[in-house]
Amino acid sequence: MAPSVWGMPCAALSSKGALQKELANPLVAPFIDFYPEDPQGHDQFKLSQCQRWLEMPSNTRPQMCVNNTKHYYIFEPVQTHSSGIVVPVFLYTLNSKLCAKCIRPIVENPFRLVIPGAIQFSDSRLLIIKVKDFCHEYAAIQIAGQLLSILCENCIFEEHKDHLRPLQLPNPWRTKAGGKIIRNVPITLYSDDTSGNVSKRWNKHVSFYFTLSGLPPRISNQEFNCHFLTTSNRAGVLELSEMVINELNSITKDGCEEVTNTPMPNTSLNPCRICQLSVPSQDQKHSKQYLRNFLQIDEDGYKRLNTLRGWKKLIEATYDLFDIGFYSTLKEHERMGKFYGVKDRINEKFIENKKDKSVQEKVKNLLVEDPTRLFNPFLKLEGTRLFPFHHPSICGLTF
């Protein structure tokens, strides 16, 4: 038991403990996909085939694979049986075979290995290599009789537009693993009011559950594979989520991707959760320009994609709205909320009660102790990105 940011009692089980038990369960573990699959547009029926898993950020995607008892990590040079040196960037399955998308490093003088920065899964420069073709780990690679690790001084560089970013070798996860196998285990997190009463008016208990995203639907849909995490009969869904987020972040850093945080379309001026489709006023929704933007075409009917929403910008907008609402006027807060198309139920409650001295004192203390508690806890969940759909009865995390 622990109180929420508003002092409401919340009860929770350990997500870490639940995951450990699932991985040790012989009736479950053999069916889990630990690597995303590229179905190439065919026979798509499970979450491990989704594009978002293939394109996870570098710190939350699968980090390692095994071939002939040797452990290979992404962003570490690997030597293949053909003696070529490549750097794995993505690990995934293709036609039921474990493969890696790799990039050939450029060798600069003095001896320095350089690879492109922020490379995408669909980048044409990536080479598809079967993991079974990997031969030597980073620490065992030799060039002209000298260890590569000595020549490159345990460092590889990512090339960005105006700078080179050093990446320390070996991959930090190799040290954390200590010779053990690391498994990437994404989860699907659900929230619902689940009192069990027929009448919705009595549904007061909000609860969080999760399923393993790597399980096929025929197994994950079984009731015994839906795991309870936390509940409260007084706290709201975002208050309750704080207990889940803190432990998930701990697992991600030391040892789960990904939960949702979305803009709020409804009849708003920002009707799309994915792109920046917007209008300054409702009457302009009837204009030809809005229709073209909605269809993502130009005046000549050619395809023109709208700019995508950015997770970083959404967080900045949320912080900005709190400053406006708490230190300016509610009218200005409402106006800017419509402009951004964002609503945070946690800090909205602080704003609504900002004249209350006890609330003012609470905000003052939180700004010193932990300012993130003033906002939706999902803003600080490691690996969180925009989610392409929302259903109130599933997640209830309306922004």
Contacts of 62 (CB under 8 A, 6+ apart): 34, 35, 36, 74, 91, 92, 184
C-alpha 47/C-alpha 381 separation (Å) is: 20
Amino acid at 285: K
Residue/partner pairs of 222-228 with CB below 8 Å, 24 or more apart: 225/28, 226/190, 227/18, 227/22, 228/13
CA 127, distance to chain mean position in Å, is: 25
pLDDT in tens, 22-34: 888 888 989 999 9
Identify each DSSP E strand in 109-212 by its residue range.
Answer: 112-116, 127-130, 134-136, 142-143, 146-147, 155-159, 164-168, 187-193, 206-212
Angle between helical axes of 237-254 and 15-24 (0-180°, round to 10): 60
pLDDT band at 206 (very low <50, low <70, confident <90, very high): confident
Structure tokens at 168: 């320390």
pLDDT in tens, 268-302: 677 776 777 877 777 788 888 888 888 888 888 88
Whether 87 shows a pLDDT value over 90: the answer reads: yes
Q: What is the pLDDT of residue 394?
A: 30
> Mean pLDDT lowest for which of 97-111, 118-132, 296-310?
296-310
CB neighbourhood size of 140 (10 A)? 12
Judging by DSSP bridges, how do beta strands 112-116 and 155-159 pair with one another?
parallel
Cβ contact 336:320 at 8 Å = yes
Cβ contact 376:397 at 8 Å = yes
Amino acid at 183: R
The 3-state secondary structure of 284-315 reads: HHHCHHHHHHHHCECCCCCECCCCECCHHHHH
For the segment 104-125, the average pLDDT, to the nearest whole number, is 92
Whether 259 shows a pLDDT value over 60: the answer reads: no
pLDDT band at 70 (very low <50, low <70, confident <90, very high): very high
User: In the 8-state DSSP scheme, what is residue 385?
Assistant: -
3-class secondary structure, 281: coil
CA 294, distance to chain mean position in Å, is: 27
3-class secondary structure, 134: strand
Cβ contact 252:60 at 8 Å = yes
pLDDT band at 62 (very low <50, low <70, confident <90, very high): very high
Mean confidence (pLDDT) of the chain: 84
Between the CA atoms of 83, 86, 90 and 96, what dihedral angle is there, to the nearest 10 degrees?
-20
- The residue with tokens 């073709």 is 133
pLDDT in tens, 304-344: 888 877 778 888 888 888 888 888 888 888 888 878 777 78
Q: What is the DSSP string of 235-276?
A: S-HHHHHHHHHHHHHHHHHH-----------TTSS---SSB-
For the segment 233-255, the average pLDDT, to the nearest whole number, is 79
